[in-house]
Amino acid sequence: MRVDLIQHTPDPEKVVAAAARLCYSSDSVSDLCERLDDKTVASFVRKLREMGHLSPFEHVSFQFAIDGVSRALSHQLVRHRIASYSQRSQRYVEEKGFEFVVPPSVQRNLEALEQFETVMARLQKDYRELLNCVPAEDARYVLPNACTTSVMATFNARSLLNFFEHRTCIRAQWEIRSLAEKMLKLVRGVAPNLFSEAGPTCITQGVCHQGTYSCGRLKTLEGKK
């Protein structure tokens, strides 16, 4: 898996602070931005987050290039609807000799790994043979969820906070959790105040919504208080 933050709104924290201040000021956005120093911006962003006043966070966006992830992951990713996606098409791009993601549980089990690789090899052969007699858009029906793909994804900051809340949770599927952790590290590098409190609700809110499926981390955190 490779994840790159290829573009984002310039000076995202100042944009968020200016958007919020505009609601209560007769000044222009340009004038507001000129009077916002780093200390004021950081304080304002933290206050907005603590109040749950997150609509100003929607004015800044972050664009990611995601490569080497499985189709199983991409099916989960697009469930986060307030975002924009472009994905390599299996209709127009042939997947001869496709690469695939091997789950850790399979890697740890030699018998399972052998069976997994045998299935992948057979599917690669079947796919190549189908390409000789049907269009790629139909041959792709035999391709597995393990097949790798590339995605470009653009989120606004508020949508990212929601994404991190759900996908950095230990209950999240391992591959998309890894993606979320990489994305969180990248955005914290350019907007630390926007995302300093991002993460699963057990850490950010002191509550777990998983019920009987809870991993138990909340109790561990409470025990450390």
Indicate which residues carry an active-site annotation: 167
Q: Look-up: residue for tokens 């789950």?
A: 103
**Per the structure block, which two tokens stand in for 82?**
């307030």
Q: Is 56 helix (H, G, I), strand (E, B) or coil?
A: helix
Q: Are 171 and 213 in contact (CB under 8 A)?
A: yes
What are 156's strand-pairing partners? 61
Q: Report the chain's terminal Cα–Cα distance, integer Å.
A: 36
- Which residues contact residue 213 at a Cβ distance below 8 angstroms, ignoring those fewer than 6 apart? 171
Degrees (nearest 5) of the Cα angle 110, 124, 129? Answer: 150
Neighbouring C-beta atoms of residue 25, cutoff 10 Å: 13
Report the C-alpha gap between 199 and 174 in whole angstroms.
15
Neighbouring C-beta atoms of residue 198, cutoff 10 Å: 22
